[in-house]
A and B are shown apart, each in its own frame.
Chain A
Amino acid sequence: MRELRIHGRGGQGSVIASKLLAVALFREGEWVQSFPAFGVERRGAPVTAFLRLDDDPIRLRCEITEPDDLIVLDPTLIDAIDVTAGLKRGGTILINTEKAPEEYPGLLERFRVATIDASGIAIRHGLGTKTQPIVNTAIVGAFAAEFGLISLESVKAAIEDEVPAKREANYAAAVEAHGAVRSAGPREVSHV
């Protein structure tokens, strides 16, 4: 089983990102389970979502405290909260940022870092506003390239299922992000 935790801020589309990943991974033959950290969401406040995938039906029904990998939709969260809490050594952190992975030397000591300017891509494709871009489909495209678990075809199918508006622009953002993700550091984590 592999466990992922997604950190974002209310309004960025973290929960939909976890659902899109679940739908795309299920299409690839994985058993999936995705859920938000249960709370009262407010725009701009830190939000967390979780994703489990496995070959067999998943039985654990509790929050994820020791994830294999992380997705961070807002880079300011890295300084604001302990996003890497419990993250397994050698796990991958996919960050929405303009920065290169090498600009996170502290994280690279323990983890693999992948970066994508999902906000810039979302703005270019007219998703959300310039101050509040909706970055979930771009991050899913970057996830597809970095993790190698889902094809762009599955991303497209998931967007058609789960995204109510601007499906073409959302898919175009995913494709652009797929081609633009940069990564550095070892990939050591073993999944059991």
Chain B
Amino acid sequence: MKKVMIGNHAVSWGVLRSRVEVISAYPITPQTQIVEALSDMVADGSLPAQYIKVESEHSAMAACIGASIAGTRTFTATSAQGLALMHEMLHWAAGGRLPVVMADVNRAMAPGWTIWTDQNDSLSQRDTGWIQLYCETNQEVFDTTVQAFKLAEAVNLPVMLVLDAFFLSHTSEPVDVTEQEDVDRFLPRREATFKMDTSDPHAFGALVRPDAYTEMRWHQQEAMREARDVFREVEDEWEAITGRRYGAVEAYRADDADLLLVTSGTITSTARHVVDQRRAAGEKLGLVKVKMFRPFPTDELRGLLGGVNRVAVLDRNVSPGRGGIFAEEIRAALYDVPPDDRPILFGYVLGLGGRDVTPAVINDIIDNTRSKASPEREDLWVGVEL
């Protein structure tokens, strides 16, 4: 069924098709439409789930954790300050190895008070142990929602699927909603390995002494490593059903390129447009889209970026005191590339708080990257007017 829908509703349809059993959420712009549509689906019976209303995002995640320990498939959605308020519970979900799936609609952090997009909300949760998948189109949002449950339940880790505020969340475009029987074949009911069961009682969340804590973290890290391979298998299976796949990392017209842009989220789409235009004019330009941020696709990025002359990373985020977060992670990944193959990396910070990233902005970045022998500084800020 093909339908024109906003990105937020592409999430809701993905949750519906995934036969989620428990939803708990607290409304926040620009996410609210996701859970509004879900509460309608629960109310009219099309989604036979429990919808738990709570007084805060912290409680929403706590409810999801409880429901997930009880063995159910659980979902929530949030943005910005809501995600920040969940922070403690994000650790509980990940450390408890619970396959909760959450949609985060990327909204910049306040202050200044804002509802517009950037990635600082989700990237601030980098070290909580959640898998993070960044989406580019509403179709990818739908597909990734369904895939997220399969991936989460296979490795017992929570998954955050991430979409740009407004540029996806409130933008209508066609989405092919996979039929229920096809999703059912792909994603059977969750079978929890360990669960809270009154007929077979266990304790959860007990004190862990120094003799076992490190091993818990080791297993978490191993599950993250495993998630890279499992994601590939999940995509294989989804592609066999729908014909669509995205990759943890995607190379676009990267062959023979002497300059590669690295993007995530919706900037990728506009950058593809620019790459096509400049390729048509004979320029050796390509693009690498990073979908998976945790676990970080280190090997894939080394393979794609190693040996290329120049790389321009476009970060719609900033770690104050350092720079663009994707750029920093990529610099670290390229440290082990032999020096002769190491590209000159230009890290651009742009589009913060929803500032529009147009083809003209991306063209300026490409021209700047080509014109300089090396970057003047690690963080190159685009369009700052003082």
Interface residues of A (CB under 8 A from B): 18-19, 22-23, 26, 31-36, 38, 40, 57-63, 65
> Given A32-B174, A33-B172, A62-B357, are A23 and B269 also a contact pair (CB < 8 Å)?
no
**Judging by beta carbons under 8 Å apart, are A35 and B170 in contact?**
yes
Q: Are B270 and A38 in contact (CB-based, < 8 A)?
A: no
Least CB separation from A25: chain B residue: B4
Interface residue ranges of B220-277 to A (CB < 8 Å): 266-267, 269-270, 272-273, 276
Report how many A-B pairs have Cβ atoms within 8 Å.
Answer: 62
With A33-B172, A61-B266 in contact, do A38 and B354 touch (Cβ < 8 Å)?
Answer: yes
User: Nearest chain B CB to A115's CB is how many angstroms away?
Assistant: 27
Distance between B244 CB and nearest chain A CB, rounded to angstroms: 12
Q: Which of A32, A57, A61, A62 contacts B172 (CB 8 A)?
A: A32
Asked whether any CB of chain A lies closer than 8 Å to the CB of B166, the reply is: yes
Interface centre among B4, B116, B165, B272 (most CB of A within 10 A): B4
In angstroms, Cα B269 to Cα A40, docked, is: 25
- Nearest neighbor of A27 in chain B, beta-carbon distance: B4
Instruction: Tell me if B363 counts as interface (CB < 8 A to partner A).
Output: no
Min CB–CB distance B351 → chain A (angstroms): 10
In the assembled complex, the Cα of A64 lies from the Cα of B97 at a distance in Å of: 44
Q: Which of B171, B266, B356, B358 has the most CB of A within 10 A?
A: B171
- Is the pair A38, B173 in contact by a Cβ cutoff of 8 Å? no
In the complex, residue of chain B having the shortest beta-carbon distance to the beta carbon of A19: B172
| Inter-chain pairs besides A22-B172, A59-B273, A61-B267, 13 sampled, C-beta below 8 Å | A31-B174, A32-B4, A32-B173, A33-B172, A33-B173, A34-B4, A34-B173, A35-B166, A38-B115, A57-B137, A60-B269, A62-B356, A63-B356
Chain A residues in 8 Å Cβ range of B359:
60, 62
Tell me if A34 and B172 are in contact (CB < 8 A).
yes
Q: How far is the CB of A150 from chain B (nearest CB, A)?
A: 13
Interface residues of B in 120-179 (CB under 8 A from A): 137, 165-167, 170-174
Q: Give the distance in Å from the alpha carbon of A58 to the alpha carbon of B273 in the complex.
A: 9
A35 touches B171 (CB 8 A): yes
Residue of chain A at shortest CB distance from B351: A62
Tell me which residues across on chain A come within 8 A of B267, comparing CB atoms: 61
Contact A35:B172 (CB < 8 A) given known A22-B4, A26-B4, A62-B356: yes
A32: B residues at CB distance < 8 A? 4, 172-174
Q: Could you show 14 A-B contacts with beta carbons less than 8 Å apart? A: A18-B172, A22-B172, A26-B174, A32-B4, A32-B172, A32-B174, A35-B170, A36-B170, A38-B166, A38-B354, A58-B173, A59-B272, A59-B276, A63-B356
Residue among B2, B115, B165, B167 making CB contact with A61, cutoff 8 Å:
B167
Q: State whether A61 and B4 are in contact (beta carbons under 8 Å apart), knowing that A36-B170, A38-B170 are contacts in the complex.
A: no
Q: Which residues of B contact A31 (CB under 8 A)?
A: 173-174
Query: Closest 4 A-B residue pairs measured CB to CB?
Result: A38-B166, A35-B171, A61-B266, A59-B273
A19 cross-chain contacts in B, Cβ below 8 A = 4, 172
Closest residue on chain B to residue A162 by CB atoms: B4
B336 to chain A, nearest CB (A): 34
Point out the residues of chain B lying under 8 angstroms from A34, CB to CB.
Answer: 4, 171-173
A31, A32, A61: which has the most chain B beta carbons within 10 Å?
A: A61
Interchain CB contact under 8 A, B270 and A59: yes
The answer to whether B174 touches A61 (Cβ under 8 A) is: no
Q: Are A33's CB and B115's CB within 8 A?
A: no
CA–CA, A63 to B361, complex, Å? 13
